Chain A
Amino acid sequence: MAGTRSPHVKLPPFQLLLDRHSGELFRFLSASVGPVDAEDAFQETFLSALRAYPKLRDASNLRAWLFQIAHRKALDTHRARGRNPIPVEQVPEVAVGAGGEAEPALWRAVRRLPDKQRTAVFLRFAADLDYAQIGEALSCSEPAARQNVRAGLATIRKGWADG
């Protein structure tokens, strides 16, 4: 048990991390893979995080780390699904962020974005991460994170204008 600990890193009890972030992680996964698969993706995220947790070398941004894992699990889900389109009915019923009502059409637009853009847009506007944190979650640089958000928004606006 003690053998796997990293020295000098003070990690909070995993339960507190879970209490703090499970809601937003679940909403993120609902937005990414749809509510039907979100449950499984959440379980996988939880287990993956728990496995890696004691070996973490840096506890300064646990939230971005959790989203990074959730992002990967969402990609796994999309990959496993292959080219099957996501049924339109699988729109999350939860309102995300402080905006009140969920907007199915907007969600569909976000869901159709390329992987990195979708996650970047969600993390920026629903989870309120800054660009540095989004970069950490996506394993890319801060400018690249900013670029992904910008590109995602442009695509959504274009779809909005066309639709």
Chain B
Amino acid sequence: MDRAQAEGLVDVAYTETDSPVGRLLVAVTDRGLVRVSFQRERRDDVLEELAERLSPRVLEAPRRLDEVRRELDQYFLGERTEFDLPLDWSLTSTPFRRKVLERTAQVPYGATISYRDAAEAAGNERAVRAAGTALGANPIPIVVPCHRVLRTGGALGGYGGGPDAKRFLLDLESGRSTVTGR
């Protein structure tokens, strides 16, 4: 594995890590963090997606994810309010979706915006449904905090990790979390 890394043969490195919202799969490329997936997505499906859309040279290489795991652990312990990780947007296919997610990435810890705000930031305030789709397809949840986007009026809205995970993350950021990490 070391030689494979040294020769640059590992195009997508991934590992799995435990968190209070369940087991997460995290994947990086040379450019940065490219994917975070929740337990409810099957591991093999996620790996197939990475192989098909990025490169088939997908390998489990936990050490390349050390920094990602460290920052996630700190976040879940309430010790980190911003991630300091380079991101790879390769899995976000359209400029509109990318704009929506980049706007979302700027929503500060503890704050929330509406789907309409996200659509507006992407240049089309009427494209609320499309913004919802873009957020639903967020390949890098938690780090790109789509859980901070709510329905107008404050209803939770959907979440890739499930409503409980979304609630948990919002509670964590508001300091109301009942679970205190691990």
Residue ranges of A at the interface with B (Cβ–Cβ < 8 Å): 1-2, 5, 10-16, 18, 43, 46-47, 50-51, 53-54
Interface residue count on the B side (C-beta < 8 Å):
23
Contacts of A13 in B (CB 8 A): 12, 44, 47-48, 50-51, 56, 58
Question: Within the assembled complex, what's the spacing in Å between the Cα atoms of A148 and B59?
Answer: 36
Given the known inter-chain contacts A5-B55, A51-B9, A54-B56, please indicate yes or no for A16 contacting B47, CB distance below 8 A. yes
B51 near A12 with CB under 8 A, answer: yes
Starting from the known contacts A12-B51, A47-B3, A54-B57, 15 additional A-B residue pairs (CB-CB under 8 Å) come to A1-B30, A1-B55, A13-B47, A13-B51, A13-B58, A14-B57, A14-B58, A15-B60, A46-B4, A47-B9, A50-B4, A50-B57, A53-B56, A53-B57, A54-B55
Contact of A10 among B3, B7, B52 (CB under 8 A): B52
Determine chain B's interface SS by DSSP, over half rule.
mixed
Interface: B54 (CB within 8 A) = yes
Determine chain A's interface SS by DSSP, over half rule.
helix
Q: State the Cβ distance, A73 to closest chain B Cβ, in Å.
A: 14
Contacts of B50 in A (CB 8 A): 13
* Nearest neighbor of A12 in chain B, beta-carbon distance: B51
